[in-house]
Amino acid sequence: MNRRTLILAAAAMAMSPVLAQAQTIDYTPGAAESQIAAGETVFIDFAADWCSTCRSQERTINALRSANPAYDAAMTFYRVDWDVYGRGELASNLNIPRRSTLVLFRDGQEVGRIVAGTREAEIRALLDAGL
């Protein structure tokens, strides 16, 4: 094995945990709704890039997901861009009052919601409801 092959193999192994971690899906109309209707567990984050509360929630959610891979195995995570879809059909149908709203669905039903909450314990409890 030459040095180049060894370096490439080491880099690929170092990147494998990053690639294996599930990602948050950027919402497009109909995607989350179809999974909810099918009874799948879906976590929806209504957020805006400029929102400091949204960024705090995102950091907490990502830390919890990293610490507990069961969340990614049990549910699909969607991020709804508030600036694009905040007045859209999904937000309207769910009566989403503002950005920084987190909603969890399981078996086609809403099981929990957090509006502007950033406490780790509160977000963990919502994620745990999806397990």
CA 4/CA 130 separation, integer angstroms:
45
Span 20-26, average pLDDT: 79
Q: In what order do the strands lie in the sheet with 101-106?
A: 25-26, 76-81, 42-47, 101-106, 109-115
Q: What is the pLDDT of residue 22?
A: 72
At 66-94, the pLDDT tens digits run 999 999 999 999 999 999 999 999 999 99
Q: What is the pLDDT of residue 3?
A: 55
Q: What would you report as the CA-atom Rg of the chain, rounded to the nearest whole angstrom?
A: 17
CA 34/CA 39 separation, integer angstroms:
9
pTM, 2 dp: 0.83
Q: DSSP string spanning 28-96? A: -TTHHHHHHHTT--EEEEEE-TT-HHHHHHHHHHHHHHHH-THHHHH-EEEEEEHHHHTTSHHHHHTT-
Span 49-61, average pLDDT: 98
Q: How many CA atoms lie within 13 A of 84 on its CB side?
A: 9
- Answer yes or no: are the C-beta atoms of 54 and 98 closer than 8 Å: no
